[in-house]
Structure 1
Amino acid sequence: MKPADLKLMSVDELWALHLEINSALERKIAAEKAELEKRLRKLRSNGASSRTFERKRRPYPQVFPKYRNPAKPAETWAGRGKQPRWLTAQLKSGKKKLEDFLIHASSSRVRRSGARS
């Protein structure tokens, strides 16, 4: 049907066409929904469930902090992700550089990395 044909139709004819299209859409949607539900039942009967498709995250190693807030030593940052507010504020002041907040390697880490005798 061409758009010019629609312009020639009366309101009653257009409304009848609208109702016919709605009923055709309802039939097709119902048939498609029934087919999808049938496929879902078949998948579930084969043992597939929502638990089958769950993925567990792999374990990540612990990330140790690299930077410490000198004003509040409990506040640390590992250097990953967004910079914490305390660090951003102090860097913006221009008085310190990022390297000034580095946590120095402890003696236990030095021993772990060194060779044993």
Structure 2
Amino acid sequence: MSAKKLELESMSLDDLWSLHEEISGILSDRIKAEKQELEKRLAALGGGAASLADSSASRLSQTGKPRRKYPRVLPKYRNPQTSETWSGRGKRPRWLVAAMKSGKRIEEFRIGDAGSKLRQRA
């Protein structure tokens, strides 16, 4: 063991607590100073508040309107072994690719007409 660790272990609880509070205060002050320095550097680079506005603007479309929420897409295909589903959008899932390589057709995994009935009501 090092000498510093022995010194800490021999200190009273009150002394350790006051040391902890002192260290916490110093750390807090240094973190605040570091943050202020980084904000100054960011402002000097031309970022500042403009960069915060840019991050919220990324959620807006190019016309300036907020992006609309798309409706939930119902699954069209189901893996009969694990009940995993796929909506038919995006990359084909591994289970479907493997099944198709083994000679099955994609129509064999199609979920019944329940989804199309729901869409007709909407």
Greater gyration radius: 1
More helix by share: 2
- What is the TM-score when the length of structure 1 is the normalising length? 0.48
TM-score, normalised to structure 2, is 0.47
